[in-house]
């Protein structure tokens, strides 16, 4: 297979749910050519057993994640490059999964379709809130209150609203790059000043320079900190001690916090997600916590997120900014899917996490044995791999070209994530293992033949 690739970088034109990204348009010409905790420890920590432990092995899973589903020509953003093209550029970029959502959720949506009426909708009462309450109390020891809840069509939408609500034009907003790229866009698009406290990369992964963090807060009179927890793309699951240090600095200097915790349900054994606002009331009082079932249960197309704000004044300002956008209420299908996912999707999620852990092990071993020049920054959470490709000795432009043209892969270039992203690539491993193996073999073929 020989690929002719035309790479076109769109800075503003292409935008899916506020996501800036590298768009690769192409035509193809075909030629022949961790030691996990033991069971007792898991019960003690409230982590729950894995599906393999429940059913006596990975082969006895109730749900199948090996099924390969053709998503081409289904209006999928992830597979958009196939629209009108012939070719086999394999997309492992944007953070949605190539797995079917829980069948229990699909069945609820089917019943909604059979009902046949799709009028204006909203989520009222306990039947929507209670599954959320139970989920967060059981899994994160965080006790919610119904008045804290504000529903939005997405977390990026909520971040924009929070930036407008909690800061004025010209105010400084701090982020920790390399980080999820819509953070920077939300700051710039609203006329605020971007302040970066870059994460520190070492042989043991990423850490925070808290002196630099506080110095940047003070020097720039920072008004808002956008926290990515777990961190995308570097995969850190912040410890409670680290989160407390963030919080104490922000509290000391009067800095609001937007905590993007959308990846909270994807944490690998030996780590545990701590809800930032749940650490102490003072943190909750200055925080907008962004969550969604969409990442956990692969429901992004249904446009539903749950934002929790305990401070009434902040909540009113946030809701005011939402009203200014003209947004009214969530979709009927989003509401139904959210309720069903949190009520019936936990067993599916536990099996999925087991599968993702095995995918991670497979990728880690493959890279080590076959492409040692690419160093995997082993994630503590998320299903996104952050790969240090600097050992290949290529410029970012050449690295992007090699991955697209020679390997036939669509990954996210590290440069998209800001400072510290040069020489890195982000890969989504939430796919059947056969697809992951194919992607890694393409990488090997591309770089070993170079």
- Answer positive or negative: Cα dihedral of 258, 264, 269, 272: positive
The three-point CA angle 139-145-146 to 5° equals 115
pLDDT tens-digit map of 411-449:
999 999 999 999 999 999 999 999 999 999 999 999 986
State how far the Cα of 201 lies from the Cα of 377, in Å rounded to an integer: 10
DSSP for 104-140, written as a single string: HHHHHHHHHHHH---------SHHHHHHHHHHHHHHH
Asked whether the predicted pLDDT for residue 58 surpasses 90, the reply is no
Residue 68 CB neighbours (<10 A): 10
> In this model, does residue 193 exceed pLDDT 50?
yes
Give the model confidence (pLDDT) of 254-294 as tens digits: 999 999 999 999 999 999 999 999 999 999 999 999 999 99
Instruction: Identify how many contiguous H helices and E strands the chain contains and give both numbers.
Output: 15, 17
Q: pLDDT-derived band of residue 4, with 50, 70 and 90 as boundaries?
A: very low
Strand partners, 224: 173, 256
Distance from C-alpha of 285 to C-alpha of 254, rounded to nearest angstrom: 11
Domain limits, the chain: 107-344
Q: Which residues share a beta bridge with 201?
A: 206
Write out the DSSP string of 297-337.
Answer: HT-GGG--EEEE---HHHHHHHHHHHHHTT-----HHHHHH
First and final CA of the chain: distance in angstroms? 16
The span from the CA of 47 to the CA of 43, in Å, is 6
Q: How far apart are CA 360 and CA 363, in angstroms?
A: 5
Q: Residue 59: its pLDDT value, please?
A: 54
CA-based nearest residue to 91, from 79, 107, 73? 79
- Measured between alpha carbons, how far is 431 from 411 in angstroms, rounded to an integer? 14
The CA-atom distances, in angstroms, between 63 and each of 125, 266, 344, 347, 432 are 32, 18, 13, 9, 13
**Is the per-residue pLDDT at 44 higher than 50?**
no
Q: What is the mean pLDDT of residues 132-159?
A: 98
Beta carbons of 186 and 18 less than 8 angstroms apart: yes
Burial degree of 55 (CB within 10 A; 0-12, 13-18, 19+): middle
pLDDT of residue 450: 60
By the 8 A CB rule, do 237 and 264 touch? no
Q: Which CATH architecture has domain 107-344?
A: 3-Layer(aba) Sandwich (3.40)
Res. 360: pLDDT tops 60: yes
The structure tokens listed for 132 are 């959320």
Of residues 190, 278, 209, 298, the one with CA closest to residue 249 = 209
Residue 171's pLDDT band (boundaries 50, 70, 90)? very high
> What percentage of the chain exceeds 90 in pLDDT?
82
Q: What token pair was written down for 160?
A: 């924009």
Partners of 6 in the β-ladder: 25
Q: In what order do the strands lie in the sheet with 287-291?
A: 149-152, 305-308, 287-291, 256-260, 222-228, 172-175, 193-196
- Among 360, 142, 154, 144, smallest CA distance to 267 is for 360
């Amino acid at each position: 297979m020989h690929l002719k690739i035309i790479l076109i970088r769109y800075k503003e034109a292409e935008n899916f749910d506020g996501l800036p990204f590298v768009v690769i348009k192409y035509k193809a010409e075909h030629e022949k050519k961790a030691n996990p905790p033991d069971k007792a420890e898991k019960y003690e920590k409230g982590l729950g057993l894995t599906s393999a432990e429940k059913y006596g092995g990975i082969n006895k899973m109730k749900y199948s994640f090996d099924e390969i589903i053709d998503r081409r020509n289904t209006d999928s953003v992830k597979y958009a490059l196939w629209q009108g093209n012939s070719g086999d550029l394999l997309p492992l970029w944007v953070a949605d999964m190539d797995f079917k959502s829980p069948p229990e959720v699909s069945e609820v949506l089917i019943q909604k379709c059979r009902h046949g009426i799709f009028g204006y909708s909203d989520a009222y009462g306990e039947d929507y809130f209670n599954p959320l309450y139970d989920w967060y109390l059981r899994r994160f020891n965080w006790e919610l209150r119904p008045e804290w809840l504000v529903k939005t069509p997405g977390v990026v939408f909520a971040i924009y609203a929070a930036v407008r609500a909690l800061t004025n034009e010209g105010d400084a907003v701090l982020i920790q790059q390399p980080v999820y790229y819509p953070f920077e866009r939300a700051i710039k698009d609203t006329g605020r000043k971007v302040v970066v406290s870059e994460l520190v990369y070492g042989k043991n992964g990423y850490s925070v320079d808290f002196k630099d963090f506080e110095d940047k807060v003070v020097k720039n009179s920072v008004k808002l900190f956008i926290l990515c927890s777990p961190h995308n793309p570097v995969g850190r699951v912040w410890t409670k001690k680290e989160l407390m240090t963030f919080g104490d600095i922000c509290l000391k200097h009067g800095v609001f916090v937007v905590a993007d915790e959308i990846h909270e349900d994807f944490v690998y054994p030996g780590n545990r997600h701590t809800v930032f606002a749940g650490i102490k009331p003072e943190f909750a009082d200055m925080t907008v916590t962004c969550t969604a079932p969409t990442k956990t249960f692969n429901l992004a197309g249904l446009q539903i997120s749950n934002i929790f704000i305990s401070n009434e004044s902040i909540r009113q300002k946030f809701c005011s900014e939402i009203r200014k956008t003209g947004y009214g209420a969530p979709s009927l299908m989003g509401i139904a899917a959210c309720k069903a996912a949190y009520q019936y999707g936990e067993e599916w999620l536990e099996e999925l996490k087991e599968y993702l852990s095995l995918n991670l092990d497979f990728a880690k071993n493959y890279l080590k044995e076959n492409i040692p020049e690419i160093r995997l920054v082993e994630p503590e959470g998320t299903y996104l791999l952050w790969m240090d490709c600097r050992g290949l000795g290529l410029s970012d432009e050449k690295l992007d070209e090699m991955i697209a043209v020679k390997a036939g892969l669509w990954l996210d270039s590290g440069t998209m994530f800001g400072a510290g992203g040069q020489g890195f690539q982000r890969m989504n491993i939430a796919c059947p293992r056969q697809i992951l193996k194919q992607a890694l073999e393409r990488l090997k073929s591309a770089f070993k033949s170079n």
